[in-house]
Amino acid sequence: MSETTLHVRTLQDQPGALYIEFDNPPMNQFTTELWSSLAAALRKARTDDSVRVVILTGAGERAFSAGLSMDMLDELKSDEDSALIYSLGFEIREAIYALGKPIIAAVKGNCVGGGFEIALCCDLIYASEDAKFMLPEMNIGLVPGCGGAIHLAQKIPFNRAFEMILFGDRLTAEEALRLGLINKVFKKDEFDASLRSVVDKILSKPPVAVRALKELMAHTVVSVNEAAALQIERRLAVDLMKTQDFKEAVSAFREKRKPRFIGK
């Protein structure tokens, strides 16, 4: 098995459920290869009539995903590199929207950056009691570039979303639950069994009606300004990766020192 892997599996005693697991120790950070594999797996699930619900998880107990690999960000050399990162994130987001079946983010541990942004695209989020949620992009001179700012402000009060992104606030599972950001919090030692119970409930519903609900609800969450917001997001996400402040932030992170921002 390669170091970075996407596990796609079904369980014999739970037909209809497709589990997709990010596996990139220690924090399941995303790489371009993992993102491409995820988009392909979601597209395949869309056309597979035997799949009725998809569950995204992270391997181990430490993280759902800590977002983009800092090594990958450090290797950005051109506008094309930055645009590729954004396009892969957008491709995953679109694949989730087009899935036509319920998709669950099953969160243990840290759900950070791009990991949190992907969770925000899902229909349901269930978290372990030790889960933490954070969008830290501002700390390295970026804005969330996978829909995070747009979706967060749709799910919780605008001023709270703005504050959370501006200061890089880390929410506990209970705080996220109180804000209505996630559906339920499960005890750590009961998480897997509780999640299976939720999946079983979904599988017990009429498949045609579930697909119809997914289509209907997809229309209710799209703002009339969504297209304009996405255009702004792409411009900012790509342009900010070219700034000196971003490069300084990445270097400072790797060198374990405080960054020196110059506003350029």
75 is catalytic: no
Helices (H), 22-78: 32-47, 70-74
Cα end-to-end span (Å), the chain: 42
Contacts 24+ apart (CB under 8 A), 166-172: 166/138, 167/138, 168/134, 168/135, 168/136, 168/138, 168/139, 169/134, 170/132, 170/133, 170/134, 171/132, 171/133, 171/134, 172/131, 172/132
Which element (helix H / strand E) includes 164? Answer: helix 158-167
Which element (helix H / strand E) includes 63? Answer: strand 63-65
Q: How far is it, in rounded angstroms, from Cα 164 to Cα 160?
A: 6
Q: How many CA atoms lie within 13 A of 263 on its CB side?
A: 0
117 is catalytic: yes
Facing residues of 112 across strands? 134
Query: Pick the catalytic residue: 61, 137, 226, 233?
Result: 137
Query: Pick the catalytic residue: 75, 94, 117, 255?
Result: 117
- Active centre residues (catalytic): 117, 137
